[in-house]
Amino acid sequence: MTGHLVEARSSVERQRISAVRRYAILDTPPDGAFDRVCALAARFFDVPFSSVTIVDEDRIWFKASEGFDVAQIPRSPGLCASAILDDKPYVISDGLSDPRTADNALVHGEMGVRFYAAAPIITSDGHRLGTVNVLDTKPRETTEQDVRTLRELAAIVVDELELRLAAIREIQREQDLRLQARHEQQRAENLARTLQRSLSPPSLPRIAGLDVAVHYEPFAIEEVGGDFYDHFPLVVGRSGFFLGDVCGKGAEAARITSLARYTIRTAAMHDQGPAAILFDLNAALLMESAETMQMCTAVYGEVDTSAGPGSATVTLAVAGHPAPLVVRCDGRVETTSAQGTILGAFDDPTFEVCQMQIDPGDAIVLYSDGILDIEADGVRVDEDRIPELLAGASPATAQTLVNRLAGVLQSPDCHTRDDVAIMVLRRMD
């Protein structure tokens, strides 16, 4: 029995190492995406050290670290090497008294680590490649919220690894077929669509009590745009949503869009409220580059349906973005009062938070400014025209309202100058 168990464990480890090799991440140069994960981890946990590690056959390699500069350490039990043995987060509250870290050099050496918490980096096929972890030189306890945050950060790392893997495979295919220009162009468009789908997915998670629909219209299919959106659960009865627009196009816009999405989602896990979350995003954009200004507009809001069937409370804040609209169940359209400073431009932005009730059948409509200033059927679309397109839709599903706005893009004489994103959240009857 023991021999079978040892063989099973050896087989799992061989498959895990094969997965590590598949992602081709070991010994690669520093990458801003992983550095940002470390920075966010250290910031949200208020600890001096954090890292993203990959566990190799006989070493633990640091893809990114905050607070220390070590490339790799031997694979000894107690911390990262032990944290990958299970899907659950791994926590050491006090390394000096925990028998699992009795011989670990990070605990008993110069760093003097006392607290360690890690979430394994788990691939879609179940292999644990390494960890996202936080460390402190003093003992401390973790909360359920801390565990959720670590899991979210580890999921972000997996997303980045998948994007890298997709890019590597695409580059390999491009090298094989570089002389076939037509095929090259097609693959470039497919890669842009794949990346754009990760930043602006065509569908969003189902959340009880809400009917949600989205539409994304790229300005150029071969280039990644700057519009982004998402809708995700927070705690039971509450969900967060956002829609934003990064200035620019292409690889740089995709990088900032990725930063914006992950910053918002991670900050939202700490229940700070819409204005505080936009402040966090503004700070992240300002830290991103001291030489070039990285700006974006955004709407972030939260829907509270915890009271059960009936009205839901929506709280939102706006940063330089067109204000969301409320379409009531009888077809009336109301504007919201939220407004605020564009993100990434100022150290001290201001955001006004507004709150409203949405009854069954009511909907919140968000859109990017790419739909403004276009002409459809000879009529200019502006912020006064948008409510006219939505008015009178009674009763209306979320998809019906999305189609009313997206319909103007189908006009034969419509010429867009930018990407267009539309999202509707409707309180279900």
DSSP reduced 3-state for 330: coil
What H or E segment, with its residue span, contains residue 275? helix 274-288
How much is the pLDDT for 383?
87
DSSP reduced 3-state for 314: strand
**Identity (one letter) of the amino acid at 55?**
V
Residues 251 and 386 in one domain: yes
**Identity (one letter) of the amino acid at 43?**
R
What H or E segment, with its residue span, contains residue 2? helix 2-23
Bridge partners of residue 114, in order along the sequence:
none
Residues 28 and 129 in one domain: yes
- What whole-number distance in Å separates Cα of residue 249 and Cα of residue 306? 39
Domain that holds residue 313: 200-427
How much is the pLDDT for 227?
85
How much is the pLDDT for 255?
79
- What whole-number distance in Å separates Cα of residue 303 and Cα of residue 326? 13
Q: Is the dihedral of CA 306, 311, 316, 322 positive or negative?
A: positive
DSSP H stretches of helix in 289-382: none
How much is the pLDDT for 416?
66
Q: Is 182 within the bounds of a domain?
A: no
For residue 265, give both structure tokens: 């989602």
- What whole-number distance in Å separates Cα of residue 64 and Cα of residue 41? 12
Q: Pick the last residue of a domain from 132, 162, 192.
A: 162
**How many domains is the chain built from?**
2
Q: Is 168 within the bounds of a domain?
A: no
Q: Are 242 and 338 in contact (CB under 8 A)?
A: no
Q: Is 244 within the bounds of a domain?
A: yes
How much is the pLDDT for 272?
81
Q: Are 134 and 50 in contact (CB under 8 A)?
A: yes
* pTM for the whole structure: 0.60
Residues 128 and 256 in one domain: no
Residues 110 and 210 in one domain: no
The one-digit pLDDT tens for each residue of the chain (429 residues) are: 455 445 556 888 999 999 999 999 999 998 888 999 999 999 999 999 999 999 999 999 999 999 998 899 999 888 999 999 999 999 999 999 999 987 888 888 888 899 999 999 999 899 999 999 999 999 999 999 999 999 999 999 999 998 888 887 877 777 777 666 565 555 545 444 555 455 556 667 888 899 999 998 876 555 556 788 999 999 888 999 999 998 876 667 777 888 888 899 899 988 789 999 999 999 988 887 655 678 899 999 999 998 888 889 999 999 999 999 999 999 999 999 888 999 998 999 999 999 999 999 999 999 998 888 787 777 778 888 899 889 987 777 999 999 999 888 777 666 667 788 999 999 987
Burial of 69 (0-12, 13-18, 19+ CB in 10 A): exposed
Residues 310 and 210 in one domain: yes
How much is the pLDDT for 183?
57
Q: Are 257 and 242 in contact (CB under 8 A)?
A: no
- What whole-number distance in Å separates Cα of residue 320 and Cα of residue 323? 9
How much is the pLDDT for 223?
58
Burial of 56 (0-12, 13-18, 19+ CB in 10 A): middle
Q: Is 407 within the bounds of a domain?
A: yes
Place of tokens 């919140």: 364
Residues 346 and 297 in one domain: yes
420: domain CATH number is 3.60.40.10
Residues 57 and 157 in one domain: yes
Residues 360 and 231 in one domain: yes
- What whole-number distance in Å separates Cα of residue 86 and Cα of residue 58? 19
- What whole-number distance in Å separates Cα of residue 203 and Cα of residue 257? 18
- What whole-number distance in Å separates Cα of residue 186 and Cα of residue 193? 11
Phi, psi of 247 (to 5 degrees): -70, 125
What is the rounded (10 degree) CA torsion for 42, 45, 49, 53?
A: -80
Q: Pick the last residue of a domain from 100, 134, 162.
A: 162
Residues 117 and 216 in one domain: no
How much is the pLDDT for 104?
86
For residue 207, give both structure tokens: 């959340």
Residues 13 and 134 in one domain: yes
- What whole-number distance in Å separates Cα of residue 85 and Cα of residue 347? 43
Q: Are 195 and 209 in contact (CB under 8 A)?
A: no
97: domain CATH number is 3.30.450.40
- What whole-number distance in Å separates Cα of residue 381 and Cα of residue 420? 13
Output DSSP code: residue 101. Answer: G
For residue 126, give both structure tokens: 């179940």
Q: Is 183 within the bounds of a domain?
A: no
DSSP reduced 3-state for 95: coil
- What whole-number distance in Å separates Cα of residue 422 and Cα of residue 381? 14
